[in-house]
Structure 1
Amino acid sequence: MIRVILADDEAMVRAGIKGILTSDPGIEVVAEAGDGREAVELVIAHRPDVAVLDIRMPGVGGLAAAAGICERVPETAVVMLTTFSEDSYIAEALRVGASGFLLKSGDPRELVAGVRAVAEGAAYLSPKIAARVIANLGGDKMSRITTAIDRISALTGREREVLTLLGAGQSNGEIARELFLVEGTVKSYVSTILNRLGVRNRVQAAVLAYEAGLIDSAP
């Protein structure tokens, strides 16, 4: 069972999101919060698999809550949910360590898929947002490619294999089956890869894999 904390300052919106999530029998919403501060407290208390956070809430907003959760309860994956798609929100959500970013106006099935994906150790961006992440990386394209290739060169052959599959959106379990490894070994590889690449999360690692040419399409 995937245990979820849900935070949104609008009660009716929370009810709708909860209804979508719990339509999947494998997902349980264990607590709800109306602001970011309460969300962080609930995550610390309940240690859920996933925290789904509205990006704009009064007081402590979703981005600040995400940063607090990623720092204090790193085993809880964070999914940001918003009606906005500004690049600054996307970049900041990824910078603080969020594993997923979804639009409230998207297909409800994306929400369930996103929660399942991050709970299994993968990263998830809605298709519209994934395209924007790649299109708005900033800087000179050739310089980014050269830098990415240089950073990837520090990895071992096996680590590059894991990174390639991670970049393609596979979860730890899927990578383990693909490479005939146990899932715990894959988790260790992923942790090492993130440290060696100097990135905070799987999405950032996937972007590097894309820029270095390890995968053919945007994560």
Structure 2
Amino acid sequence: MGEKLRLLLADDHAILREGLAALIESQPDMEIVAQVGSGREAVEKAKLLHPDVAVLDVSMPDMGGADAAEAIRREQHHTRVVALTRHADRGYMQRMFRAGASAYVLKRSAGDALISAIRAAATGDTWIDPSLSGQLLSRLAGQDEAGLLPSAGSIPNLADREEQVLKLIAWGQSNKEVATELGLSIKTVESYKSTALRKLNLRSRTDIVRHALARGWLKEEQTPDEG
């Protein structure tokens, strides 16, 4: 097995923090390098230890998760941030993603969801708590005036395969998983993805999720291959 993912865990609730640490440490490919109870401590430890992923509570004393995320990402470019929160509110979510977070996990669904979010963040992907799909994220996503998406009347047509690839990526699948699902090579998937991103003027997996939400691809009653 390769090197383990090195994680920094920051939460001001000690009992919850210990439980999350035990969960993370139970994973064969993860280890906790530091546990802290405040945002300022998280920034200091990140500077010292250079973790692969920092799991940050959004609401912490002396420095909130967003400010801590900004500070960590500014100085430790390789460190990915996973936001852990009780707030199912688009304002908090927007703030964390703008601060550089790669994932947003609700504490009420922490467990397997947190592990999935950590792994996604570590590989450069974006992960959003599944319970936050629907109207909440649709409102977050559908802000054409912010320049996040092309206007409805100017969305370029995608080839069927390009659309299939983007849908599966929006549902959280990696390039390898998409390749397996569609019976393609990873290189071919990457080519379809690159072409689709260029057509739609999208840059990241977060942009893909926003586009998918605006197009109605992530409705709870749909599966990834339904349109």
Range class of TM-score, shorter chain: 0.7 to 0.9
Q: What residue number does 2:52 align with? A: 49
Q: Do structure 1's residue 86 and structure 2's residue 89 form an aligned pair?
A: yes
Q: 32-41 vs 59-68, which deviates more?
A: 32-41
Q: What residue number does 2:27 align with? A: 24
Q: Distance in 2 between matches of 1:180 and 1:85?
A: 37
**How far apart are 1:170 and its partner, in Å?**
2.1
TM-score scaled by length of structure 1:
0.75
Q: What residue number does 2:6 align with? A: 3
Determine which of 113, 121, 127 is the counterpart of 1:124: 127
Q: Do structure 1's residue 133 and structure 2's residue 137 form an aligned pair?
A: yes
The letter for the 2-side match of 1:62 is G
Deviations along 1:107-156, whole A, 9 cap, x unmatched? 52211222122223322111122332124446589x98752774x75x99
CA 144–83 in structure 1, closer or farther in 2 if over 3 Å, else same: closer
Asked if the contact 2:138–2:214 (Cα under 8 Å) also holds between the matched residues in 1, the reply is no
Determine which of 10, 13, 16 is the counterpart of 2:16: 13
**How far apart are 1:64 and its partner, in Å?**
0.6
**How far apart are 1:160 and its partner, in Å?**
7.3
Asked if the contact 1:80–1:102 (Cα under 8 Å) also holds between the matched residues in 2, the reply is yes
Query: Which secondary structure state, in structure 2, belongs to the residue aligned with residue 67 of structure 1?
Result: helix
TM-score scaled by length of structure 2:
0.72
Query: Which secondary structure state, in structure 1, belongs to the residue aligned with residue 109 of structure 2?
Result: coil
**How far apart are 1:92 and its partner, in Å?**
1.0
Q: What residue number does 1:38 align with? A: 41
CA 145–31 in structure 1, closer or farther in 2 if over 3 Å, else same: closer
Asked if the contact 1:121–1:171 (Cα under 8 Å) also holds between the matched residues in 2, the reply is no
Q: Distance in 2 between matches of 1:216 and 1:127?
A: 10
Q: Do structure 1's residue 65 and structure 2's residue 72 form an aligned pair?
A: no
Q: Do structure 1's residue 147 and structure 2's residue 157 form an aligned pair?
A: no
Q: Distance in 1 between matches of 2:213 and 2:63?
A: 34
The letter for the 2-side match of 1:78 is V
Query: Which secondary structure state, in structure 2, belongs to the residue aligned with residue 18 of structure 1?
Result: helix
Q: Distance in 2 between matches of 1:156 and 1:10?
A: 49
Trace 1:96-175 onto structure 2 (pairs within 5 A).
96-131=99-134, 132-137=136-141, 146-147=150-151, 150=154, 153=156, 163-174=166-177
Q: Do structure 1's residue 180 and structure 2's residue 193 form an aligned pair?
A: no
Q: 78-87 vs 156-165, which deviates more?
A: 156-165
Q: Unaligned stretches of 5+ in structure 2?
A: none
**How far apart are 1:69 and its partner, in Å?**
2.2
Q: Which has the larger radius of gyration?
A: 2
CA 78–25 in structure 1, closer or farther in 2 if over 3 Å, else same: same
Q: Distance in 2 between matches of 1:173 and 1:120?
A: 12
**How far apart are 1:206 and its partner, in Å?**
1.9
Asked if the contact 2:10–2:38 (Cα under 8 Å) also holds between the matched residues in 1, the reply is yes
Deviations along 1:171-203, whole A, 9 cap, x unmatched? 354457665246xx95xx87xx59x9476x522
Q: What is the aligned length?
A: 211
The letter for the 2-side match of 1:88 is G
What is the alpha-carbon root mean square deviation over aligned residues? 3.8
Query: Which secondary structure state, in structure 2, belongs to the residue aligned with residue 20 of structure 1?
Result: helix
